A = this chain, B = another copy of it.
Amino acid sequence: MRVSELVERTGVPLASIKYYLREGLLMPGTPTSATQASYGEEHVRRLALIKALTDVVGLSVAKAGAVLRLIDRPEDGLFETLGRAIASLPPEAPELPDYPRARAALERLGQVYDPRFAATAQLEQALAAAERAGMPIDDRRLDAYGRHVRAIAEADLVGMPSDPAQAVEYAVLGTALYDPVLAALRRLAHQDLAARRL
């Protein structure tokens, strides 16, 4: 298809498509003349992925490019690549040598504590914020959260593709896209439970 059709199919403006081509986020089309190129379904799919990373996940174009490079060339083994890709997602949390609240919580849940995981800093930040607001998480709540979040994570991993590039894409999008689904479901469950009680 011509670039005008690509604009129509994806809703991504021509200027953005040219920008993504220049920055290497979108792979070039097949040249059909000195000034034109032909694009295929892989370009439609890639633009959907770029849109998801920038519009929905809220990454800058530079950060989206870094994630796309990890998807295109998973390096150092899948586990490290996955960790690096997920670490580029918001929220940003300050890097510290030790995260005492996160460490205690993970020890209680029987999970590995690793200060190199970005999510460890995010957990520390979230636990500290709850504490400062006068609502520190107690063991009863932590145990319930840990058990049920683990079951959710297990359901997430069922659909994980075995191809490394697809696995990284799946993990990045699945992490970012389903967080808001879970948050909305939690509020609706609160409302449903409260309606029954009140």
Binding site for B on A (CB under 8 A): 45, 48-49, 51-52, 56, 77-79, 82-83, 86, 91, 102, 106, 111-112, 114, 117-120, 122-123, 125-127, 129-130, 132-135, 137-138, 140-141, 144-159, 170-171, 173-175, 177-195, 197-198
Contacts and interface: CB of A to CB of B under 8 A. Distances in A.
Contacts of A159: 138, 141
Contacts of A86: 187, 190-191
Q: In the assembly, how many copies of this chain are there?
A: 2
Nearest to A146: B185
Nearest to A197: B157
Contacts of A181: 123, 126-127, 130, 137, 145
Q: Which of A52, A141, A153 has the most CB of B within 10 A?
A: A153
